[in-house]
Structure 1
Amino acid sequence: MSATGAWVVGVIPDAEARELLDRHAHLSRPGDRDKPAAFGRALAWWSNGGEDETFFERSTGPSGPLVPTSVAHRFADLIEVANPSTAATDAVQDESMALMPEAIGAALFVATARKANPVAALYYGLGARRSALLPGWFGDFLLSADEVRASLPRVEEALLLSDAQRSTALSRITAWMNAMGDAPDCVAAELIDAPLRVVRHAAEAGCGVAAFSRWY
């Protein structure tokens, strides 16, 4: 059965953002967020030039479809290990989603892709230096209103691209969504533009922001 990857970025009330983690701390266990040694090695690889390796190849000549290499799968594994599911994180995500607006718009963005994680596509598209400017771990974060305002300049630096940078990022996002997943209708530009809209909206409204990935 095919799985669908989703990335949710939404505004939540500031007071709830400041209380959520404390409210579910009783569900955490020592070691819940510990990363295996392989994670550190993979993160060092990605942060020190891994993005320049060959993630995709043509399967049947210059015009054939792109297929992922072992490098692409290594990066996909890094994304998954970065944010393991625990009782505490699942509870925070569930409650965050319940606090978000119902309608997608300036205060809510949801990206989905069959067989692919949208946040992996974005981080591959941006590359290591720019993606490191985004808050949290590989697309998962929970920010109070003060933290939103403090992080906004770095989010803008990550996502406001020159024409050439944007063209490269869009090409890489599209390659990921189609080679790692089955998302020919994905709007790559929305993965760059929509999270910035949400963070800016939250900064103006004095709200917090929650973001997380899930598989369905």
Structure 2
Amino acid sequence: MGITSAWAISAHHDSVISELAPRILPLIAAEREEPRAHERWARWRHSPLPDHRTWYRISAQDSNLAHAISSFHRLTAPGEHIQRLYDDTSHEDEFHLADSVWARDESPKHMFLAIRSKDYALTSFFHAVGPARAAFIPGWCGNFLLTAAQVRDTLPNIERTLSFTPQERAAAEKQDWLDYAPDEESVLTGPLRQWRHAAQAGLGLCGLSVLIY
């Protein structure tokens, strides 16, 4: 059975961030405190995965690598707590992630959106940048909610995290296994562009990774 997933980083005024905070921040905290979450993060941090093109050729003979790959996929796949934002349509105030967050502003410059079939954009992004860089992404595993002040405060780290020398970019692009349309932002360019835009415009950011179906 195929899947379709989305990783979105949307920019909003602080009034919207404040409105979303009671819904989203406890869910991010719950994802972070899952019993196996830090174990999976530590495994990846201490032993980054090799070139993704070797994973399934090697892992058939290497049970440790097979387990590491599985652990990494579980770490970076949408978590069940955040997933409820998308799945649960029973809210009395008719809140729904797609309509109440992503479609709140029609301007494309206020959104980075990676929708993928049979894959998770966040998984490819984390593998491409590696654990040392990914550790500077706020929140937990691509899910975050930041006020405008927090966006400004975190921008220097994000600049360092997502800026590459030509050699580093070439290496990262080889490890980002997603295919892109000619006019589509990659996971290596969209998040930094969105962070810079939000900081310049005085906006906050909401980053969420979910399974659409």
- Partners of 1:54 and 1:164 in 2: how far apart? 16
Give the CA deviation at 1:41.
Answer: 1.6
Give the CA deviation at 1:14.
Answer: 1.4
What are the ranges of 5 or more consecutive residues in structure 2 without an aligned counterpart?
58-64, 89-94
TM-score by length of 1: 0.76
Residue 42 of structure 2 is aligned with which of 23, 27, 44? 44
Give the % identical residues. 24
TM-score by length of 2: 0.77
Give the CA deviation at 1:103.
Answer: 4.0
Q: Note the alpha carbon deviations across 1:127-181, whole angstroms, 9 max, x for none.
A: 001111111111111111001100100111110111111111110012xx3xxxx
Q: How many residues align?
A: 195
Residues 56 and 69 in structure 1, CA contact (< 8 A), matched pair in contact too: no
- Give the aligned residue type for 2:162: L
Residue 164 of structure 1 is aligned with which of 162, 167, 183? 167
Q: Note the alpha carbon deviations across 1:178-204, whole angstroms, 9 max, x for none.
A: xxxxxx446796211111111111111
Kindly indicate whether structure 1 or structure 2 has the higher relative contact order, using CA contacts under 8 Å at least 6 residues apart.
2
* SS of residue paired to 1:113: strand
- Partners of 2:126 and 2:11 in 1: how far apart? 21
Moved more, 191-200 or 123-132: 191-200
Q: Note the alpha carbon deviations across 1:73-110, whole angstroms, 9 max, x for none.
A: 321111137663365686584532243x3243x32111
Residue 207 of structure 1 is aligned with which of 200, 203, 207? 203
* SS of residue paired to 2:133: helix
* SS of residue paired to 2:15: helix
Where does 1:122-141 land on structure 2 (aligned, <5 Å)? Answer: 122-141=125-144
Where does 1:3-82 land on structure 2 (aligned, <5 Å)? Answer: 3-22=3-22, 24=23, 32-33=30-31, 35-48=33-46, 50-53=47-50, 55-57=52-54, 69-80=66-77
Q: What RMSD in Å do the two structures reach over aligned CA positions?
A: 3.1
- Partners of 1:146 and 1:165 in 2: how far apart? 30
